[in-house]
Amino acid sequence: MGSAVLSQTIPAVKVSRLFIYPIKSCRGISVSYAPLTPAGLRWDREWVVVNSQGRACTQRVDPKLALVEVELPNDALVEDFEPTSDSYMVLKAPGMKPLNICLSKQHEVTDAVTVWEWTGSAWDEGAEASQWFSDFLGKPCQLVRFNSASEVRQVDPDYVRGQHRTYFSDGYPFLLLSQESLDALNELLKERIPINRGHASLPQSLSTILVEGCDPYSEDLWTEIKISRFSFLGVKLCSRCKVPTINQETGIAGSEPTETLMKTRSGKVIRPNAKNKNKVYFGQNLVWNWMDSSVKGSGKTIKVGDPVYILGNVSSAEEAAA
């Protein structure tokens, strides 16, 4: 697969929004900056709700998770933040009393937690959290945190080599989308996909990094980009499940935007000579080159307004990995 090198001295593209989703499939938080970690933006997908078999609960099966709001301490995204016994993640949901999750507690380890292809141990957030989610979802559940002391969940080596990892995201630590692509999709929809200022009503499968200043869907082609001084690799086009069809304000699923995306962004349309013609693609999965010697030390934070440099690309979506 060939890659063209582009010179860009004055970047037109910049970061317009950043989102973190501390609990997989629960409501996200729109932030102005976030520290980078090898597994994603700090706090992103660090927790997951699992069922009685230890399998991840997601909006695909439990759309009510979209109604769970998550609040972090005000200083949680300061790069050198270390939680204390007074540091809490606060969860709120309709009909439920707020739930405080201490960010510094000592955890019991629970085994056989499964997210897609990965199975490993995790930290149990305790009986109160289990009861809270069990009551809200109407079935036995448990809230667990990624066991970073002993577990490493590597990304698919068929798509990217190296020490790239993630926590409880579907497969990759970062997902990039352009505002122009979202605008182009919204032009075709009767009901626009909103992005609210205070939190992310954008379905979490849509983006952790939103950029602007490019042509619609040009992010399909980017193989190497730099955000501020940090190097990222475009790994593969992101294929979409049913989660973007779930209204993040109501937790009710509909047919859009997948119905429209099938007409405009299916493999059959944008990759007619490749496999997976019935998959729908929207956005690009990224990994951060965190082993790069130029990013040693502190200051590993990206923020809204950061310039985005396109250093390498392919010429068509058909050439992109998917």
CA pseudo-torsion sign 264, 270, 272, 275 = negative
pLDDT in tens, 52-76: 999 999 988 898 999 999 999 999 9
Give the type of residue at 228. Answer: S
Q: How far is CA 104 from CA 100, 166, 312, in A?
A: 12, 21, 41
pTM of the model: 0.88
- What is the predicted pLDDT for the residue at 244? 54
Please say whether the beta carbons of 322 and 267 come within 8 A. yes
CA distance 287 to 155: 9
Q: Three-class SS string for 163-225?
A: CCEECCCCCCCEEEEEHHHHHHHHHHCCCCCCCCCCCECCCCCCCCEEEECCCCCHHHHEEEE
**Domain span holding position 188:** 14-319
Number of domains in the chain: 1
Using pLDDT thresholds of 50, 70 and 90, give the confidence band for residue 201: very low
Question: Is the residue at 280 inside a domain?
Answer: yes
Question: Is the residue at 218 inside a domain?
Answer: yes
Question: Is the residue at 6 inside a domain?
Answer: no
Instruction: Please give the helix or strand (H or E) that residue 133 lies within, else none.
Output: helix 127-137
Q: In which region does residue 119 sit, left (phi positive, over 0), alpha (psi from -120 to 50) or beta (all else)? A: beta
- What is the predicted pLDDT for the residue at 221? 96
Please say whether the beta carbons of 167 and 208 come within 8 A. no
Across 157-166, 196-205, 208-217, 255-264, the highest mean pLDDT is recorded for 208-217
Question: Is the residue at 130 inside a domain?
Answer: yes
Question: Is the residue at 4 inside a domain?
Answer: no
Question: Is the residue at 196 inside a domain?
Answer: yes
Does residue 230 carry a pLDDT above 50? yes
Structure-model confidence comparison of residues 5 and 154, the more confident one:
154
Question: Is the residue at 3 inside a domain?
Answer: no
CA distance 31 to 103: 19
- What is the predicted pLDDT for the residue at 198? 37
- What is the predicted pLDDT for the residue at 264? 87
Question: Is the residue at 198 inside a domain?
Answer: yes
